[in-house]
């Protein structure tokens, strides 16, 4: 009897689903998309309703053959790709490749990879949603038209290898606009004034200047501050009012994708990778679970909807874990934003059986951290609000009013899930301190008063002034975007979709349009130039409102309110005109951008040119004069993150300057070409750059050629090599103390080495003459079972840290903490 074929995207997902199905089903993975538009040409016929010319992805040729072989005997094919537009499009391509007259194509939709969800999906199979596919096709074609039409223009006007994307360009503009706002920002001085006061009972407390004669007051300079201090001299300090109100703070809703990306303390790409692993399935061998199980629901969603079954399970968990007082009378329902695609639930645990601490031994630290975040947010969303008393004390001194606030927790409510007070949860939950609280309605924000522990005071009480403390402050510029705040900005402006945020951010960095310093994005000189060029010729493409409307048009295609061809025709009509005008009017930067700077060598004007590694300043008299310098303003930092002084060249004493090469920025001697000294710039913990230490020549001799060894700074840290490189390529490696089993007779030892990507492995010191390698660290200990020369260390989620025999035929294993003793 032929087996039904089930097709998913990934092997991990296939493994998890396979355990829920019987022998009548065969589950295979497509490894993602199997077809796409061609790389070498546009692949879209703009004159014939934007017909696409899809072709098989070269790297998927083998997979496609395996899929077709598996489909030969199948009468039913079930497409079980992810339940979103991208997954629907993958399913559509699979149906076109695998379908036939004798084969029926079914669509399986499930929000979580659990036995119940999979079995339920098989009871109600559907068909490929053509409208969802059309929406994804339209997005793909829009992106292709922008990318493949504007990018060649940039190659012609600026430099080959540049790119412009429909959503990527808008994101870049947001970063550059923020940077220019920072550059234009002029700090304004202001002063805060604090009074240290003591009442009839301890403790002392601070109050902040709030009003004068009933009106809000702003102290602009030190003279005004001193005048107020003079006014307050010998003024009586009287409590004018004491108001205590009960406040409530409600829990935030369960996570949607964008909120998870903003709240998790990982880069967006890593957050989505970890969530994908938790969704596709984790092995839980110690919990009586056979095979992997999905721990969370589908992680690409913008809906806060939760199934009734999950709500019941959450309420049962809350009642049994926290008690009835934490449980609302009815389940909590949250409203999704107006443009949310409500096909999927919010991100939540698939079962309350697997709490974070129970599954922690089977998760990596990062997986556990993200799972706990999702778990806590979901459980908290179904709990009663936290309540606290907020006391506001107003103190009058002459014409001036000072204010202090105190908060006393009354009932932990949902904050019990996190084990922290409401004020400490802003960062973990992604809320501002005032979000969802009754205090949100106050006319004053937290900056108008000092919060702290207050003594018991009553209206009319006279207070003793202990000290007056004026503090000078300056207004701050808007902050640069972090990954979290950039995602928030994209989401709030309706730009892109949560599933695309990671790739948008990645492209901006890969193209060297932005750099990340201290966790924040800063546009490069190249990024600023690209935005300036594009906004003059393609104002629509970089317009936030226009991009938002395009996203809404894609939603309308999915809803059946418009169609693929009409949407693309409307876009291309204007875009085609802009493209033609840009070809004629866009500035040609290959000729260089004029500056007011004069060459300090020959006196000719200096130009900004765009080179292979970005913009730089060069003499217009090239090739007669080869004077250049780095355009970027970034300078090396010291270890404390501050700008560091650049030491002069250690060989000739001339100044060193920052230049950019194939592997990024570096220091080069200004005496070039007579002096060719260079020094690397390495990343600091703060995200900046720091000059690497100069080479240190050692007294130790090279064992191969007899010349001195030298300590150098490489891409992956310090290393010791021969001074005669490249004639002698000896590198001194850290030894493990274990003799090489293949080359011991020639003095070979197993030493630490690093791959081209920086990953550590272990190999023979006589490489390349001996190619023995290990990925696990060897230990100089004879195997007590088979007598093998050494053991290896391995750490797995299932068994922890172990010592194993290097001999694959021997099954000796023990905990690394145990030490074998002779009988």
User: Model confidence over 642-695: pLDDT tens digits?
Assistant: 555 577 887 888 888 777 666 667 888 888 878 888 877 765 555 456 666 777
Q: How far is the C-alpha of 165 from the C-alpha of 504, rounded, in Å?
A: 9
Tens digit of pLDDT for each residue in 584-597?
A: 999 898 888 888 89
Q: How far is the C-alpha of 12 from the C-alpha of 539, rounded, in Å?
A: 44
Q: What percent of the chain has pLDDT over 70?
A: 89
Give the pLDDT confidence score for residue 613 in this predicted structure.
73
Q: How far is the C-alpha of 126 from the C-alpha of 83, rounded, in Å?
A: 12
The CA distances from residue 250 to 328, 386, 431, in Å, are 12, 7, 11
Give the pLDDT confidence score for residue 441 in this predicted structure.
33
Cis amide leading into 623 (omega within 30): yes
263 pLDDT band (50/70/90 cuts)?
A: very high
Give the pLDDT confidence score for residue 717 in this predicted structure.
66
Residue 600 confidence (pLDDT) above 80:
yes
**418-422, 546-550, 633-637, range with the lowest pLDDT:** 633-637
- Give CA torsion, residues 781, 782, 785, 786, to 10 deg: 140
DSSP annotation of 643 reads B
Residue 718 confidence (pLDDT) above 80:
no
342 pLDDT band (50/70/90 cuts)?
A: low
Judging by DSSP bridges, how do beta strands 237-249 and 462-474 pair with one another? antiparallel
Residue 564 confidence (pLDDT) above 60:
yes
Contact residues for 37 (Cβ-Cβ < 8 A; gap 6+): 43, 44, 52, 53, 54, 55, 140, 144
Q: Give φ, ψ of 732 to 5 degrees.
A: -85, 120
User: What does the radius of gyration of the chain's CA atoms come to, in whole angstroms?
Assistant: 33
Mean pLDDT of the region 533-537: 93
Give the pLDDT confidence score for residue 436 in this predicted structure.
34
Residue 485: Cβ within 10 Å count: 15
Q: Is 374 helix (H, G, I), strand (E, B) or coil?
A: helix
Give the pLDDT confidence score for residue 544 in this predicted structure.
93
Tokens of 158: 């600026």
Cβ(792)–Cβ(806) under 8 Å?
yes
**293-297, 431-435, 494-498, 592-596, range with the lowest pLDDT:** 431-435
Mean pLDDT of the region 143-172: 92
Tens digit of pLDDT for each residue in 611-623?
A: 877 788 999 999 8
Cβ(548)–Cβ(493) under 8 Å?
yes
Give the pLDDT confidence score for residue 699 in this predicted structure.
86
- Give CA torsion, residues 118, 122, 126, 127, to 10 deg: 90
Give the pLDDT confidence score for residue 339 in this predicted structure.
63
Say what the pTM is: 0.76
Tens digit of pLDDT for each residue in 184-233?
A: 999 999 999 999 999 999 999 999 999 999 999 999 999 999 999 999 99
Residue 407: Cβ within 10 Å count: 18
Show the beta-strand stretches assigned E in 675-798: 678-683, 689-691, 696-701, 708-714, 717-722, 731-732, 735-739, 749-754, 760-764, 773-774, 778-779, 791-796
Give the pLDDT confidence score for residue 65 in this predicted structure.
93
Of 293 and 452, the structure prediction assigns the larger pLDDT to 293
Mean pLDDT of the region 62-87: 92
Residue 821 confidence (pLDDT) above 50:
no
Q: Outline where 523-665 has alpha helix (H).
A: 525-537, 544-559, 564-585
Helix (H), strand (E) at residue 247: strand 237-249
Residue 473 confidence (pLDDT) above 90:
yes
Q: How far is the C-alpha of 439 from the C-alpha of 452, rounded, in Å?
A: 16
Q: How far is the C-alpha of 74 from the C-alpha of 486, rounded, in Å?
A: 47
Tens digit of pLDDT for each residue in 108-144?
A: 999 899 989 999 999 999 999 999 999 999 999 999 9
Q: How far is the C-alpha of 183 from the C-alpha of 177, rounded, in Å?
A: 10
Of 128 and 19, the structure prediction assigns the larger pLDDT to 128
Q: Is 395 helix (H, G, I), strand (E, B) or coil?
A: strand
Tens digit of pLDDT for each residue in 298-332?
A: 999 989 999 999 999 999 999 999 999 999 999 99
Give the pLDDT confidence score for residue 725 in this predicted structure.
83
Tens digit of pLDDT for each residue in 387-415?
A: 999 999 999 999 999 999 998 889 999 99
Mean pLDDT of the region 554-562: 93
Of 235 and 789, the structure prediction assigns the larger pLDDT to 235
Cβ(495)–Cβ(167) under 8 Å?
yes
73 pLDDT band (50/70/90 cuts)?
A: confident
437 pLDDT band (50/70/90 cuts)?
A: very low
Show the beta-strand stretches assigned E in 376-435: 386-397, 400-411
Catalytic member of 20, 298, 371, 400: 298
Q: Which of 809, 731, 802, 816 is nearest to 765 (CA)?
A: 731
Query: Which single residue is written with the structure tokens 């197993």?
Result: 750
Is residue 298 annotated as a catalytic residue, yes or no?
yes
528: Cα separation from own chain's centroid? 22
**How much of the chain is in helix, strand and coil states, percent to nearest 5?**
30, 25, 40
Q: Is 104 exposed, middle or buried (0-12, 13-18, 19+ CB in 10 A)?
A: middle
Residue 368 confidence (pLDDT) above 80:
yes
> Measured in Å, how far apart are the chain's first and last C-alpha atoms?
59
Q: How far is the C-alpha of 39 from the C-alpha of 51, rounded, in Å?
A: 16
Contact residues for 706 (Cβ-Cβ < 8 A; gap 6+): none
Q: Which of 540, 541, 547, 539 is nearest to 494 (CA)?
A: 547
630 pLDDT band (50/70/90 cuts)?
A: confident
Residues in the chain: 823
């Amino acid at each position: 009897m032929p087996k039904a074929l089930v097709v998913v995207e990934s092997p991990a997902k296939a493994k998890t689903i396979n355990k829920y199905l019987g022998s009548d089903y065969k589950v295979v993975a497509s490894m993602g998309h199997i077809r796409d538009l061609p790389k070498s040409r546009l692949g879209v016929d703009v004159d014939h309703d934007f017909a696409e010319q899809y072709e098989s992805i070269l790297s998927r040729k083998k997979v496609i053959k395996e899929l077709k072989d598996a489909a030969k005997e199948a009468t039913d094919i079930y497409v079980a790709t992810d339940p979103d537009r991208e997954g629907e499009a993958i399913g559509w391509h699979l149906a076109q490749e695998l379908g036939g007259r004798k084969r029926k194509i079914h669509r399986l939709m499930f929000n979580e990879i659990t036995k119940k969800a999979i079995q339920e999906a098989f009871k109600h199979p559907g068909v490929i949603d053509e409208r969802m596919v059309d929406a994804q096709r339209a997005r793909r074609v829009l992106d292709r038209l922008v990318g493949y039409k504007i990018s060649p223009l940039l190659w012609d006007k600026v430099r080959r290898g540049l790119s412009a994307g429909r959503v990527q360009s808008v994101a870049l503009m947001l970063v550059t606009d923020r940077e220019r706002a920072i550059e234009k920002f002029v700090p304004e001085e202001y002063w805060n004034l604090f009074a240290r006061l003591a009442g009839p009972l301890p403790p002392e407390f601070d109050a902040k200047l709030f009003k004068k004669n009933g009106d809000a007051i702003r102290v602009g300079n030190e003279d005004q501050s001193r005048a107020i201090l003079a006014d307050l001299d010998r003024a009586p300090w009287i409590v004018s009012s004491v108001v205590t109100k009960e406040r409530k703070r409600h829990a935030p809703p369960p996570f949607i994708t964008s909120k998870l990306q903003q709240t998790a303390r990982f880069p967006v790409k890593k957050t989505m990778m970890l969530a994908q692993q938790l969704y596709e399935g984790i092995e839980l061998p110690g919990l009586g679970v056979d095979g992997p199980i999905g721990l969370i629901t589908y992680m690409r969603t913008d809906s806060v909807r939760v199934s009734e079954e999950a709500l019941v399970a959450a309420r049962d968990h809350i009642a049994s874990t926290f008690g009835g007082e934490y449980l609302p009378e009815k389940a909590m329902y949250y409203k999704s934003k107006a443009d949310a695609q409500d096909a999927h639930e919010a991100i939540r645990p698939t079962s309350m059986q697997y709490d974070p601490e129970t599954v922690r031994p089977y998760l990596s630290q990062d997986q556990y951290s993200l799972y706990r975040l999702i778990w806590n947010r979901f459980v908290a969303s179904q709990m009663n609000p936290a309540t606290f008393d907020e006391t506001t004390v107003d103190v009058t001194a002459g014409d001036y009013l000072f204010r202090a606030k105190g908060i006393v927790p009354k009932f932990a409510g949902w904050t019990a899930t996190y084990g922290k007070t409401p004020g400490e949860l802003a960062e973990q939950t992604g809320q501002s301190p005032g979000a969802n609280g009754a205090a949100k309605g106050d006319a004053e924000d937290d900056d108008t008063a000092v919060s702290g522990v207050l003594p018991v005071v009553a209206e009319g009480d006279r207070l003793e002034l202990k000290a007056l403390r004026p503090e000078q402050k300056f207004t701050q510029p808007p902050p640069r975007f972090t990954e979290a705040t950039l995602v928030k900005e994209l989401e709030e402006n309706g730009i892109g979709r949560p599933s695309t945020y990671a790739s948008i951010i990645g492209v901006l960095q890969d193209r060297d349009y932005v750099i990340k310093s201290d966790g924040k994005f800063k546009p490069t000189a190249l990024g600023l130039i690209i935005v300036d060029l594009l906004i003059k010729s393609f104002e629509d493409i970089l317009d936030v409102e226009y991009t938002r409307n395009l996203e809404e048009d894609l939603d309308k295609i999915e809803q059946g309110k418009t169609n693929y061809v009409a949407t693309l025709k409307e876009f291309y009509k204007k875009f085609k005109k802009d493209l033609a005008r840009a070809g004629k009017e866009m500035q040609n930067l290959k000729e260089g951008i004029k500056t007011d700077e004069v060459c300090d060598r020959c006196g000719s004007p200096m130009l900004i040119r765009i080179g292979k590694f970005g913009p730089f300043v060069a003499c217009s008299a090239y090739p007669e004069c080869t004077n250049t310098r780095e355009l970027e303003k970034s300078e090396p930092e010291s270890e404390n993150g501050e700008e560091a002084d650049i030491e002069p060249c250690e060989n000739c004493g001339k100044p060193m300057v920052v230049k950019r090469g194939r592997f990024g920025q570096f220091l080069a001697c200004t005496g070039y070409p007579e002096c060719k000294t260079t020094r690397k710039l390495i990343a600091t913990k703060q995200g900046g750059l720091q000059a690497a230490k100069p080479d240190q020549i050692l007294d130790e001799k090279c064992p191969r050629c007899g010349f001195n060894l030298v300590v150098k700074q490489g891409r992956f840290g310090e290393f010791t090599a021969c001074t005669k490189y490249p004639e002698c390529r000896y590198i001194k490696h850290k030894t493990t103390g274990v003799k090489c089993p293949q080359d011991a007779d020639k003095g070979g030892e197993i030493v630490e080495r690093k791959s081209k990507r920086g990953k550590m492995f272990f190999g023979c010191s006589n490489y390349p003459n001996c190619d023995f390698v290990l990925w696990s660290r060897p230990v100089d200990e004879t195997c007590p079972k088979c007598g093998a020369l050494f053991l290896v260390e391995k750490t797995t989620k299932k068994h922890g840290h172990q010592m194993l025999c290097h001999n694959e035929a021997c099954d000796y294993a023990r905990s690394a903490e145990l030490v074998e003793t002779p009988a």
